[in-house]
Structure 1
Amino acid sequence: MDGLLLAGQMLSLTAKVAVAVLLLRAYRISGRTSALHLGLAWLFSAVVVLMDALGHEILVVVFYSVFSAVLFYGSLRFLIEEGQVVLKRPWMWALPPVIGAFYGLLLGNGWESTVGIPYGVSAFYVFLAGVTIASAEGDFPTARRAGIALALFGLHEMDYPVLRDVQWFAPIGFTLGAVLTVLSAYMMARMVLSERFIGTKPTVEVKPGVKLLTRKNYERVVEGLKDYPVLAFLREPTPFPAWTGYMLTAVSGEMRIHPTNLARMSEIVSRYLREASNQDVTGVVVIDGVEFLVTYNGLQPVLKFLATLRDMALVNNALLLVFVEENAWNPKELSMLKRIFAGE
């Protein structure tokens, strides 16, 4: 069993270090902070394996709690980057495993309170991290599979405090843990290496700037961008496979945004432009349905929203295209709208 245990530990260590390297590489390419924190989490998990091999049970609990906390924080950052949640101070949601571990070590009495319960809490947060990643909306199957594998890994880890003394389960638990570790690492690697996560450089060249266009020019303009990785907010389904499109609608669903959720739209645009800039690509954002946004939010909030997008585009050397129905605006409103895009 000792030889099998050592082989399993080496396999687990190799898988965790490998996926950490891939995640950190994905961070360097895409600039997505979720990749950075997920990569750091797997490095902490590799340290857990080392501490376990050296027999330092207390350090196993400490580093496992840090692993689960950073992993859960990375999963929250992932959903924020995907524009699916808006959280202030998301790191606060990831603190319970670390707090529980140190509370148990400082004030606990006996194995259950110093090791068992903190370990179980940390494993539960690994499970939550998997569920969080798997909940990603839209066409992101690799993320869903990675999340499911991670959730299963967390569920298995939760049985350790209960079944650690059951002799007949030891080889089963050991084998299952090794398989789920490798599976989770493999699926996570698939996720961060996907085009959906890191993106690819387009072959079409576009010039940065900000443009206010009339709706009658929509078909002509977007046809020239049909093969470009455009980020679009539209009143109809996305017209081209190369685009990442969100439908502006009060009906909930995947890749849909409620017209009052301007903050989420801003976050999505900000992340997209950062990723494009990191990849040395000119980001292109298309907004169609401004009148619909005004109906739900009023004129001034929408003007401020468009002014923010304009500044984002200029700072990131991107192209912002906003289409409006000219007849839907009175002269004063149209003048205010044009001033935003003229930079006045």
Structure 2
Amino acid sequence: MIISPQWLTVALKIAASVVFLRAYLKSSRKSALFLSFGWISSIPVSPIGMGSNPEVECIFTGTAVAFTLLGILTLIEEEGGRKSPKAMHLTLPTLPALYGIIEASLGGSCTGTYVTSGVLLLIAGVVFTELMSTYYRRNATLFGAVLGISGIASMLHPVAYENGLLTPNVVMYTSLLMATMTAYAYYSVIYSRHFLELENLASMRGTETVVSGSSIVSEKDFKEISARLDGYPALAFLRNSTPMNGWISYRISTVQGPNVIPPTAMYRITETANMYLLEMERMGNKGIIIIEAVEFLKLYNDFRSVVKMLATLRDSVLIHDGALIIVTEKDIWDEGEWNILLRTLG
């Protein structure tokens, strides 16, 4: 017996709902719960030929996208450590759901719901890729790309179908393909080691050799330390080195780009480090902060400001039982500056 693509799509949505609900139970992260609700809400949105009516399609399409947007917004907050404005929570997820209810009550087509949902999904895909690449790397790109494709497909679907450009068979198979791609992209993020926090447990090896408090190490010693921290979620502010797997890395540079901090914005280093230390302490792990570009920071800030920033970070890691690793060479500094660095970080 050959299973029709309609029922395969429904079965895939049910399976995805269960899988992501299980991820919530394992991680206690609300983003997984909201994404699971998004899949559950999309089940009644049946492909052509399964008896769905416009009212049901409008309401559940809007609801599914609302939960998806809420899940993405929550995931960004979980990783960034900051709450989004309440207005964003009230408007972004509400818009598609509201459109669905309005169009269902009018008894017309769901064009407005599909178009609104598509625009918001496309924007969410771009934002997710930019903000989450630090944490999920290629998986974030895949997730964002699939969201963007889903958004474009959502915007084009009602126009193309209502004008006869898409046949029911094309809609059925396209729905199955999109559901498969989306489920895989979600799975690559939600079941990643970072999301489930398994990396924080499995990669504790090597961290016992990193002493709590602050220390100054040479480039040679840093290479050895880096190898021991491969796979550990250390927070690294780098200038030249390549981050190891699992590191949450930022580049110190005057050239703008994703995950780049200008040398004149040292406050961002302090803010990011404090949020990171709080989150690592909450998970019961040691926060390890690496700063490679201290002498580069001095080129754009006076030496006293750089020392104050380092002293603040030292106090923070001591409070949270973390470690601060400063990578630099003695011969780069004059004797007075070097002695101040040693006293400040000693």
Aligned equivalent of 2:185, options 168, 184, 187: 187
Change beyond 3 A, Cα 1:261–1:307: same
Structure 2 residue 241 is the aligned partner of structure 1 residue 237:
yes
Task: Compute the RMSD of aligned alpha carbons.
Answer: 4.2
Q: Separation in 1 of the partners of 2:83 and 2:305?
A: 21
The answer as to 2:91 corresponding to 1:95 is yes
Which residue number in structure 2 is paired with residue 171 of structure 1?
169
Q: Is 2:292 the counterpart of 1:294? A: no
1:103/1:193 Cα in 2 relative to 1: closer, same or farther (>3 Å)? closer
Instruction: Quote the residue 2:287 is aligned against.
Output: 283
The answer as to 2:130 corresponding to 1:140 is: no
> Could you tell me how far apart the structure 2 residues matched to 1:159 and 1:27 are?
36
Greater mean deviation of Cα atoms: 144-153 or 36-45: 36-45
Q: Which residue of 2 aligns with 1:209?
A: 212
Q: Distance in 2 between matches of 1:311 and 1:186?
A: 43
Alpha-carbon distance in 2 for matches of 1:255, 1:65: 28
CA distance in 1, matches of 2:79, 2:319: 24
Which residue of structure 2 lines up, in the alignment, with residue 19 of structure 1? 20
**1:280 positional shift:** 4.1
Report which structure shows greater RCO (CA 8 Å, sep ≥6): 1
Counterpart-to-counterpart distance in 1, 2:327 and 2:5:
64
Distance in 1 (alpha carbons) for counterparts of 2:101 and 2:139: 38
Match of 2:115 among 113, 120, 123: 120
On the 8 A contact 2:58/2:104 being kept in 1, the answer is: no
Equivalent pairs counted in the alignment come to 326
**Equivalent residue letter for 2:317:** A
The one-letter code of the counterpart of 1:328 is: W
SS of the residue 2:228 aligns to? coil
The CA deviation at 1:73 is 1.5
Asked if 1:41 is matched to 2:41, the reply is: no
Read off the aligned partner of 1:130 and give its amino acid letter. G
Deviation at 1:245, TM superposition (A): 4.6
Q: 1:328 aligns with which of 325, 329, 333?
A: 333
In 2: Cα distance, 1:333 partner to 1:225 partner: 24
Closer, same or farther in 2 for the Cα pair 1:226/1:92, shift >3 Å?
Answer: same
In the TM superposition, what is the alpha-carbon distance from 1:121 to its structure 2 partner?
0.8
* CA distance in structure 2 between the aligned counterparts of 1:4 and 1:222, rounded to whole angstroms: 53
**What is the TM-score normalised by the length of structure 1?**
0.73
Where does structure 1 lack aligned partners over 5 or more consecutive residues? 29-34
Residue 146 of structure 1, CA deviation: 2.4
Q: How far is 1:227 from its partner?
A: 2.0
Q: Distance in 2 between matches of 1:26 and 1:131?
A: 28
Give the counterpart letter for 1:18 in structure 2.
V
Give the letter aligned to residue 201 of structure 1.
Answer: S
Name the structure 1 match of 2:265.
Answer: 261
Equivalent-residue separation in structure 2 for 1:253 and 1:129 (angstroms): 19
Q: State whether residues 34 and 68 of structure 2, in contact with CA within 8 Å, keep that contact through their aligned partners in structure 1.
A: no
Matched residue SS, 2:167: helix
**Aligned CA distance change for structure 1 residues 328 and 183 (closer, same or farther; 3 Å):** same
* Structure-2 change in CA distance of 1:316 and 1:51 (3 Å): farther
Opposite residue 159 of structure 1, the aligned amino acid is L
Q: Per-residue CA shift, 1:272-316, capped at 9, x if unaligned?
A: 445644654323212233232233244565445334433442343
The CA distance in 2 between the partners of 1:264 and 1:174, in whole Å, is 48
Unaligned runs of 5+ in 2: none
Task: Give the equivalent residue in structure 2 for 1:149.
Answer: 146
Query: Which secondary structure does the structure 2 equivalent of 1:226 belong to?
Result: helix
> Offset of 1:70 from its aligned partner?
0.8
Does the CA contact (< 8 Å) of 1:233 and 1:286 recur in 2?
Answer: yes
Measured after TM superposition, the shift of residue 148 of structure 1 is 1.7
Match of 1:10 in 2: 11
Task: Measure how far apart 1:210 and its partner are.
Answer: 1.7
In structure 2, give the amino acid aligned to 1:156. A
**Alpha-carbon distance in structure 2 between the residues aligned to 1:314 and 1:241:** 25
In 1, Cα distance between equivalents of 2:297 and 2:37: 44
Are the structure 2 counterparts of residues 273 and 179 from structure 1 closer, same or farther at C-alpha, using a change threshold of 3 Å?
A: farther
Does residue 220 (structure 1) correspond to residue 189 (structure 2)? The answer is: no
Q: Summarize deviations over 1:219-259 as a string: whole Å, max 9, x none.
A: 33652452213433233223766755544222345664321
Please identify runs of 4+ aligned residues in structure 1 that moved more than 6 A: 51-54
Q: Deviations over 1:151-199 (max 9, x none)?
A: 2222222234324546752231222122211221112212333345543
Give the letter for the 2:175 counterpart. G
| Residue aligning to 1:249 | 253
Q: Which amino acid aligns with 1:125?
A: L
